[in-house]
């Protein structure tokens, strides 16, 4: 007699594989028509062989029926010209609606009819191990699909502007140059992230900005053209504090932010902050690093009085400060 167990196991594996395939195919059919190829021209920092402009590109996706497109800031930042190619081959010029390098997100717009679009889902419902699909245009190959799983949640990613983004999604769905700005999609066809970065030379470590951040940023960029943040006007660096100072001053942490320079006429100068001061707190929040300070300097603090806790040599001071709105870059 022939043992039927291996055949039953093979049939079960085939069923699982087929279910996986159906999930990926369904997502691709649903979302791909909203994915676009973004081509840009920008001024070359140093003209090469007489060429004053350089070309580049990436991916994006239409998220409203009237032609608003989400992509990465680093794809379109300082672009002098943007062209968008749709899934059906149509090509349109695009304009930048808003660009936020601090979250590596940008919104551009095309004026076109009969557009397919995909809605942003809930990244807060993601679980580690969940199936995700990335769609983009790596190396110019339109609508290339890769799949994988959510490798980790709550990661941090430093953008080109130097700011840290929290709650980033880590995935092993393969990303390559040109995937930037494309959607990361769950098995229900909901966009739960915007593909952003690859760790090189590692394999299988890729990051996406979660849809929870993308929704907020996209709405603000469409409404205001920018993300409003507060600003105090210092150049700083992280420093370690001596244990005896931490103990004698009753500080909550052993690190702070050294004010290397204070801009003239800035909120910091008006508050009396001086180069050499070390910021260790803002209101009731301890400040251990520049990232801590960045996280606090949101729109809510614009023109709102706050209290800085500062070390000046061996003295602990409290300074009242009123952060202003961050000036445009």
What residues are labeled active site? Answer: 74, 104, 180
Q: Is the separation of the CB atoms in 85 and 39 below 8 Å? A: yes
Residue 302 CA: distances (Å) to CA of 53, 161, 180, 267: 38, 21, 32, 11
Two tokens, residue 98:
């808003």
Q: Which residues pair with 265 in a beta bridge?
A: none
Q: How many CB atoms lie within 10 A of CB 122?
A: 13
- Tell me, what DSSP letter sits at residue 296? H
Q: How many CB atoms lie within 10 A of CB 176?
A: 16
| Nearest C-alpha neighbor of 135 from the set 38, 60, 210 | 60
Q: Is the separation of the CB atoms in 294 and 275 below 8 Å? A: no
Q: Is the separation of the CB atoms in 195 and 180 below 8 Å? A: yes
For residue 154, is the peptide bond before it cis, meaning its omega torsion is within 30 degrees of 0? no
Torsion from C-alpha of 214, 217, 221, 222, nearest 10 degrees: 60
CA 261 – CA 269 distance, rounded (Å): 10
User: At residue 220, what are phi and psi to the nearest 5 degrees?
Assistant: -70, -40
Residue 122 CA: distances (Å) to CA of 101, 185, 192, 216, 218: 23, 11, 6, 12, 15
């Amino acid at each position: 007699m022939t043992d039927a167990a291996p055949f039953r196991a093979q049939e079960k594996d085939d069923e699982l594989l087929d279910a996986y395939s159906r999930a990926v195919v369904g997502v691709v059919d649903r979302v791909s028509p909203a994915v676009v190829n973004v081509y840009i021209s920008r001024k070359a920092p140093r003209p090469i062989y007489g060429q004053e402009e350089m070309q580049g590109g990436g991916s994006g996706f239409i998220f409203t029926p009237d032609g608003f497109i989400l992509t990465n800031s680093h794809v379109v930042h300082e672009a002098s010209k943007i062209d968008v190619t749709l899934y059906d081959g149509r090509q349109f010029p695009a304009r930048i609606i808003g660009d936020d390098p601090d979250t590596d997100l940008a919104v551009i717009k095309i004026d076109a009819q009969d557009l397919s679009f995909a809605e942003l889902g809930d990244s807060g419902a993601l679980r580690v191990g969940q199936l995700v699909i990335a769609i983009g245009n790596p190396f110019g190959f339109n609508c290339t699909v890769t799949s994988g799983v959510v490798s980790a949640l709550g990661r941090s990613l430093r953008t080109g502007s130097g700011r840290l983004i929290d709650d980033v999604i880590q995935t092993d769905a393969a990303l390559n140059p040109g995937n930037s700005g494309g959607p990361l999609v769950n098995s229900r066809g909901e966009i739960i992230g915007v593909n952003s970065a690859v760790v090189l030379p590692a394999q299988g470590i890729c990051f996406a900005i979660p849809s929870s951040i993308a929704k907020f940023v996209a709405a603000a960029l469409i409404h205001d053209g920018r993300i409003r943040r507060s600003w105090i006007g210092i150049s700083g660096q992280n420093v370690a504090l001596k244990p005896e100072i931490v103990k004698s001053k009753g500080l909550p942490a052993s690190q702070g932010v050294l004010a290397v320079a204070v801009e003239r006429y800035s909120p910091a100068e008006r508050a009396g902050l001086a180069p050499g001061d070390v910021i260790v707190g803002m209101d009731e929040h301890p400040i251990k690093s520049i990232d801590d300070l960045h996280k606090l300097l949101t729109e809510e603090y614009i023109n709102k009085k706050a209290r800085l806790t500062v070390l000046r040599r061996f003295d602990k001071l409290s300074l009242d400060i009123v952060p202003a709105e961050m000036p445009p870059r």
